[in-house]
Amino acid sequence: MTIDILMPRPMLPIVQEQLDANFTVHRLYEADDPETLLAEVGEKIRGVAMAFGPVDKAFLSKIPNAEIVASFGVGYDHINTDDCLAAKVTVTHTPDVLTEEVADTALGLMLMTVREFGQAEQWLRQGNWEAKGPYPLTQATLQGRTLGIFGLGRIGKAIAKRAEAFGMEIHYHGRRKQDGVAYPYHATLKDLAAACDTLMVVAPGGAETQHAVNAEVLEALGPNGIVINIGRGTVIDEAALIAALENGTIFGAGLDVFEQEPKVPEKLLALPRVTVLPHVGSASQATRNAMGQLVVDNLKSWFDTGKAVSPVPEMG
């Protein structure tokens, strides 16, 4: 029996080729009129393979016989899991396979931000080293810094392990104190910010963390404070961050994610001690292929055994 899969947007070749070999794939993005195609095939769809885009009650009503949504990425704030649970649709994501890559990016971004390596590179490329002399001495150093991690999950722990090797003291905040974790725990994000001078945001997006890093938290971080975000852009109130940077409330920021990607506020880009990356935390071919393979494995496992490989926590 043929199993019909919906693919709303293009995915990696490793995903497309394997799904084509095992399922009948309906590519919504290739349709002249996606809504017409969805109306024609919606009742046949039993699974969805997707990288991003909203999944909610309205979307699920168009594919009433869907059993699984296999999402590409560890974050899944674009999916309303309550609506999926109500519709008896399993949701999967791709954790673990990107943990080490994102942790490496986090440390690289932190180093770039503290030591202004990106700005120093541009100084050289623009001919300033020869014309104006050495790049100015950086005011900040990584030595002696205390790292506060907001979100001590798989990636947060991998970051902490790397940061310890740099001699940093580690503190953390999350929904609860974790058993077996020796790092000092802070019950509020403001308390964490007050206890550290480098705040690493690893928290997922969604309503629970929307603008969790606000003006009050940034003020607690202080004038030597640096914010690094490799979680979700929505976790930081960008307007408050810009104001804190402009006013000297904090020292600098390193950002791989933004509130309205790919749009980045011009005011943010104009600030001198801000290092930015275009959401490349897990963006190596090897890691993205591993993530894509997990999307395929989730779909194949579900239809072969009735169990997914990596369901999101809400699925029990």
| DSSP E strand boundaries for the chain | 4-7, 24-27, 45-50, 68-71, 90-92, 146-150, 169-173, 198-201, 226-229, 252-255, 274-276
Check pLDDT > 70 for residue 127.
Answer: yes
DSSP-derived secondary structure letter, 231: S
Q: Are residues 87 and 152 in the same domain?
A: no
Q: Are residues 72 and 197 in the same domain?
A: no
Question: In this predicted model, what pLDDT tens digit does every residue of 60-80 receive, in sequence order?
Answer: 999 999 999 999 999 999 999
Beta bridge partners of 273: none
Separation in Å, CA 308 to CA 14, 93, 105? 19, 10, 29
* Percent of residues in the chain assigned helix, strand, coil, to nearest 5: 45, 15, 40
Q: Are residues 129 and 229 in the same domain?
A: yes
Question: In this predicted model, what pLDDT tens digit does every residue of 4-44 receive, in sequence order?
Answer: 999 999 999 999 999 999 999 999 999 999 999 999 999 99
Q: What is the mean pLDDT of residues 138-154?
A: 97
Count of domains for the chain: 2
Q: Are residues 172 and 263 in the same domain?
A: yes
In this structure, the number of other CB atoms found within 10 A of the CB of residue 75 comes to 19
- Dist. CA 101–CA 197, nearest whole Å: 24
- Dist. CA 54–CA 295, nearest whole Å: 17
170: three-class secondary structure by DSSP: strand
Strand order, beta sheet including 226-229: 169-173, 146-150, 198-201, 226-229, 252-255, 274-276
Nearest CA among 194, 277, 196 for reference residue 230:
277
Q: Are residues 123 and 212 in the same domain?
A: yes
Give how far the C-alpha of residue 79 lies from the chain's centroid of Cα atoms, to the nearest Å: 14
* Average pLDDT taken over every residue of the chain: 97
- As a whole-number percent, the residues of the chain with pLDDT over 70 amount to 100
162 token code pair: 């790397």
- Dist. CA 257–CA 264, nearest whole Å: 9
Q: Which of the residues are catalytic?
A: 232, 261, 279
In a domain, 281, yes or no: no
Q: What is the mean pLDDT of residues 257-274?
A: 97
Question: In this predicted model, what pLDDT tens digit does every residue of 233-255 receive, in sequence order?
Answer: 999 999 999 999 999 999 999 99
Q: Are residues 105 and 194 in the same domain?
A: yes
Q: What is the mean pLDDT of residues 104-109?
A: 98
Q: Are residues 150 and 107 in the same domain?
A: yes
Q: Are residues 56 and 198 in the same domain?
A: no
Q: Are residues 133 and 272 in the same domain?
A: yes
Q: Are residues 142 and 41 in the same domain?
A: no
Exposure of 214 by Cβ count < 10 A (0-12 exposed, 13-18 middle, 19+ buried)?
middle
Q: How confident is the model at residue 93 (pLDDT cuts 50, 70, 90)?
A: very high
Q: What is the mean pLDDT of residues 101-120?
A: 98
Element (H, E) at 109: helix 99-115
Q: Are residues 126 and 205 in the same domain?
A: yes
Check pLDDT > 90 for residue 176.
Answer: yes
Q: How confident is the model at residue 1 (pLDDT cuts 50, 70, 90)?
A: low
276 token code pair: 């930015």
Question: In this predicted model, what pLDDT tens digit does every residue of 277-305 receive, in sequence order?
Answer: 999 999 999 999 999 999 999 999 999 99
Q: Are residues 150 and 293 in the same domain?
A: no
| Total residue length of the chain | 316
Q: b or e along 122-153 (b: 16 or more beta carbons within 10 Å of the residue's beta carbon)?
A: ebeeeeeeeeeeebeeeebebeebebbbbbbb
**Residue 136, preceding bond cis, omega within 30 degrees?**
no
Going 203 to 296 to 12 to 289, the CA torsion angle's sign is positive
Identify the domain containing residue 33 by its residue range.
Answer: 4-97+286-315
What's the pLDDT at 316?
74
**Residue in the block written with tokens 């519709």:** 87
DSSP of 61-107: HTSTT--EEEESSS--TTB-HHHHHHTT-EEE---STTHHHHHHHHH
The pTM (predicted TM-score) of the whole model is 0.94
